Amino acid sequence: MKVIDEVHHIRCPFRRPGYFTGVTAILGDTITLIDTGLASSPKEAIFPYLKNLDRTADEVSHIVLTHTHGDHFEGVPSILKVADAQVYVHELGKPRILDLASRTSFDPSKVETVNHGDVLKLGNHEVEVLHTPGHSVDAICLVDRKLGVCVSGDSIQGFGEERPLLFYSSVAYTNSMQRLSRAPIKILLMGHPFPLSEQGVVRGRNVKAILQESLRAVEHLKEKFVKVLKTCGRPLSINEISRKLPEVREPSIEPVLTELSEDGRVRRLGRGDEVLWLSRSIET
């Protein structure tokens, strides 16, 4: 769908009916893609979308990755087979994209790293890189300040549907939401149909709303873990906590517990594979 001016949001089918990975296309003399979806996404969704606009895949000159999870970057090799494009990724994601290059034989010299505060010239547009870790360590958002458009990938996840899904840090996620709250964003292009963004595009007041909901979601998760540990009254493993909270995605459990231990609300016992978690209120 066309979002504004030369900016388009392409919905690439993902795993279950109605769900998708969002890819952003910025059209100009050449084409910039922000994310590339799954390995199947270019032929299944991206190339047909461009063809409907009378554009061709070999016009892609830049690929910017919001993070290096498979459903956002595995389409890179298929695009590089037909386009002479430069690939940009946060420096913390470089090892994963180079691993993909080695497995699929695309030229690793096509990969260039970016960091927080960098400004990329993409056709007629300039976008600022904001490092927004939480969901992943290498997550970035791209902000076109002139248009007020932010492409967020999976950095913002809202509340509900087992969200947020945190593979890295709940503290970093909270800090990222606060950082984005200060950015001049009028339109948000998201990586999936997260709560409040069923179409993957959020506009106007709903931008602030989904950021606030994302912050509330972290607090909600922390409250759940504290209550489970307190109610149980004994140390629990992550597997036990997961069984007691089936609505919480398991990768999110340790990042949230780590924050709670730093806050002094829970205690970590043991190390390695023998880690247990205990409510501090049980000890007092």
Other C-beta atoms closer than 10 Å to the C-beta of 95 total: 12
> Could you give the angle at the alpha carbon of 154 between the alpha carbons of 121 and 104, nearest 5°?
70
CB within 8 A of 267, min separation 6: which ones?
Answer: 261, 277, 278, 279, 280, 283
Which range (3-12, 53-62, 256-265, 275-284) has the least confidence?
A: 275-284
Distance from C-alpha of 191 to C-alpha of 41, rounded to nearest angstrom:
13
Q: Supply the Cα-derived Rg of the chain in whole angstroms.
A: 20
Domain boundaries, the chain: 2-219, 223-283
Q: What are the pLDDT digits (tens) for 50-107?
A: 999 999 999 999 999 999 999 999 999 999 999 999 999 999 999 999 999 999 989 9
pLDDT of residue 171: 95
Please tell me if the domain spanning 2-219 has the same topology as the one spanning 223-283: no
Q: What are the pLDDT digits (tens) for 265-283?
A: 999 998 777 899 999 876 5
Domain 223-283 has CATH 1.10.10.10: yes
Q: What are the pLDDT digits (tens) for 229-247?
A: 999 999 999 999 999 999 8
Q: Percent of the chain having pLDDT more than 90?
A: 89
CB within 8 A of 133, min separation 6: which ones?
Answer: 92, 139, 168, 169, 172, 173, 176
Distance from C-alpha of 125 to C-alpha of 248, rounded to nearest angstrom:
39
Give me the helices (H) in 182-235, please.
Answer: 205-232
pTM: 0.94
Q: Is residue 284 over pLDDT 70?
A: no
CATH class of domain segment(s) 2-219: alpha beta
Mean pLDDT of 10-30: 93
Distance from C-alpha of 23 to C-alpha of 147, rounded to nearest angstrom:
18
Q: Is residue 160 over pLDDT 90?
A: no
